[in-house]
């Protein structure tokens, strides 16, 4: 643990003391802080509230003990962080992964604050996670883990407080268990406590593919503005789950070529384009892209230099380093993952004239349809999938247009522009609400 003493803006006597785990140089939290620092000069009088953006409102660390199938008891560490609630209840996913840390969850919750505000959703930012390898658990162990975790964080979640959703290694079944556990604890069925649920429990049509669809919608608009035709476009995709796989599917259907794919099992290349449907079936059967007969296996390092026009990082954060930014041949990067590009890489990409559609706009399709699900649960009136997709396309299109106009006006990147739009909305809400007591 490291204790840091903060002085006020004028460098006078210390105003507070913070204790935290000292972040690593490539920490996602430091990436987020660097992004905020680039935005503060553009916020005018609202910059006086800037420190609000650099501090999570609430961080909860919980012990999650469960009885294993063999009768032993194991303990797992869980988190739920609410970064900012000025504009509404917290909103953000829950991930199960062996590398989950408090710093990572803090950063992801902060990006949710920015994402929700940039798109115009009435939410604050939150995120959760458990440090666990879910593939090593049986179904019953996974259920016990989920239910205990939900009970532990139940003191801060709720339909009007904080609404979890699926993320890495979690799905609609996990959300069903979370909803049921919360409902049992409060004594009433509360479908709106989570989103991404199964359809029979109040889930929304279009939710599973929403994030990948958002990548396709915002990417298509960016290509239109760049005067690039989707047909024949070469695309490289990192991560081939709901996000990367759906984006690849939609681009392939519009005539683009998926020439490089990488996931946790390896890298495959085919400069003539892959059969995305066949690859999806292979991944469903084998658990990853490795061994797909319609492409050639390649070292993972080759993925970043594979000849392509569009790069879609749709895996984990921190993947595009400065070195990889210098290697890519892409003209456009669509951030399907959260925080995939390090600040130093952003500078390299900008110097090379490579446009980046940032995560807080590009992958906002999932949280947008989660918002639709939340609204439908409250009203008990559900929309058809065509209506969902039309509403999604309109919201993301309008959000990207606002960010693009801001970038042109301020002569900044789309990422900085998205942060400007979002931070202005968050800090305006903070200012108008005032401080209590």
Three-state SS at 234: strand
Rg (CA), the chain: 21
Q: What is the pLDDT of residues 258-315, one digit of tens each?
A: 999 999 999 999 999 999 999 999 999 999 999 999 999 999 999 999 999 999 999 9
Q: What is the pLDDT of residues 227-250, one digit of tens each?
A: 999 999 999 999 999 899 999 999
Domains 56-192 and 210-362 share a fold: yes
Residue 146 scores a pLDDT above 60 = yes
The fold of 56-192 is Rossmann fold (3.40.50)
What ranges make up the beta strands (E) of 98-187? 124-131, 162-166
* Residue 3 confidence (pLDDT): 40
Q: What is the pLDDT of residues 350-365, one digit of tens each?
A: 999 999 999 999 999 9
Q: Report residue 55 as tokens.
A: 């501090």
- Which of these is catalytic: 91, 115, 127, 197? 127
Q: Where are the domains of the chain?
A: 56-192, 210-362
Of 21 and 111, more confident: 111
DSSP string covering 214-248, please? HHHHHHHHHHHHTT--STT-EEEEE--SHHHHHHH
Tell me the pLDDT band of 23, cut-offs 50, 70 and 90.
Answer: low
Q: What is the pLDDT of residues 365-393, one digit of tens each?
A: 999 999 999 999 999 999 999 999 999 99
Query: For all residues of the chain together, what is the average pLDDT?
Result: 93
Contact 244, 335 (CB under 8 A): no
Beta strands at 310-313 and 332-334: parallel, antiparallel or unpaired: parallel
CA distance 124 to 109: 9
* Residue 316 confidence (pLDDT): 84
Mean pLDDT of 34-49: 95
CA distance 316 to 414: 21
Instruction: Choose the CATH number for 210-362 among 3.40.50.720, 1.10.287.470, 1.10.10.10, 3.40.50.620.
Output: 3.40.50.720
CA distances (Å), origin 336, targets 18, 213, 214, 245, 434: 33, 10, 9, 11, 35
Residue 13 scores a pLDDT above 70 = no
Percent of the chain scored above 70 by pLDDT? 94
127 tagged catalytic: yes
Residue 207 scores a pLDDT above 70 = yes
Residue 6 scores a pLDDT above 80 = no
* Residue 22 confidence (pLDDT): 57
Sheet holding 355-357, edge to edge: 296-298, 266-269, 257-263, 234-238, 310-313, 332-334, 355-357
Q: Report residue 345 as tokens.
A: 């890489």
* Residue 12 confidence (pLDDT): 40
Residue 46 scores a pLDDT above 70 = yes
Beta bridge partners of 267: 262, 298
CA distance 239 to 278: 16
């Amino acid at each position: 643990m490291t204790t840091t003493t903060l002085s006020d803006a004028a460098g006078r006597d210390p105003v507070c003391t913070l204790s935290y785990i000292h972040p690593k140089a490539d920490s996602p939290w430091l990436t987020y802080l660097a992004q905020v620092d680039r935005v503060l000069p553009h916020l005018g009088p609202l910059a006086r509230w800037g420190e609000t953006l650099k501090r999570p409102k609430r961080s909860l660390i919980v012990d999650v003990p469960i009885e294993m199938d063999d009768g032993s008891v194991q303990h797992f560490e869980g988190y739920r962080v609410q970064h900012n609630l000025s504009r509404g209840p917290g909103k953000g996913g829950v991930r199960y992964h062996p590398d989950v840390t408090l710093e990572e969850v803090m950063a992801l919750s902060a990006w949710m604050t920015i994402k929700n505000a940039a798109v115009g959703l009435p939410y604050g930012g939150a995120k959760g996670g458990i440090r666990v390898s879910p593939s090593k658990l049986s179904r019953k162990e996974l259920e016990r883990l989920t239910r205990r975790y939900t009970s532990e964080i139940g003191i801060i979640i709720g339909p009007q407080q904080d609404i979890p959703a699926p993320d890495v290694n979690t799905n609609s079944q996990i959300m069903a268990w979370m909803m049921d556990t919360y409902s049992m604890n409060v004594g009433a069925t509360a479908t709106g406590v989570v989103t991404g649920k199964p359809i029979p429990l109040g889930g929304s049509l279009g939710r599973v593919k929403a994030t990948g669809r958002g990548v396709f919608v915002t990417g298509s608009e960016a290509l239109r503005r760049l005067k690039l035709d989707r047909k024949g476009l070469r695309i490289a995709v990192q991560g081939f789950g709901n996000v990367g796989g759906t984006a690849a599917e939609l681009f392939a259907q519009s005539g683009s070529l998926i020439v490089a794919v990488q996931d946790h099992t390896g890298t495959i290349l085919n400069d003539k384009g892959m059969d995305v449907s066949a690859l999806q079936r292979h991944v469903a059967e084998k658990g990853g892209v490795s061994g797909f007969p319609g492409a050639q296996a390649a070292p993972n390092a080759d993925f970043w230099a594979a000849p392509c026009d569009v790069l879609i990082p749709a895996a984990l954060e921190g993947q595009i380093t400065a070195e990889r930014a210098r290697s890519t041949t892409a003209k456009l990067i669509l951030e399907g993952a959260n925080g995939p590009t390090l600040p130093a890489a952003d500078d390299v990409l900008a110097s090379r004239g490579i446009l980046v559609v940032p995560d807080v706009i590009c992958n906002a399709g999932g949280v947008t349809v989660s918002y639709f699900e939340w609204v439908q649960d409250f009203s008990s009136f559900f929309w058809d999938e065509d209506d969902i997709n039309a509403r999604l396309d309109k919201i993301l299109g309008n959000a990207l247009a606002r960010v693009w106009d801001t970038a042109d006006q301020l002569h900044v990147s789309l990422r900085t522009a998205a942060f400007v739009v979002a931070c202005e909305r968050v800090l305006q809400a903070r200012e108008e609400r005032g401080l209590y007591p």
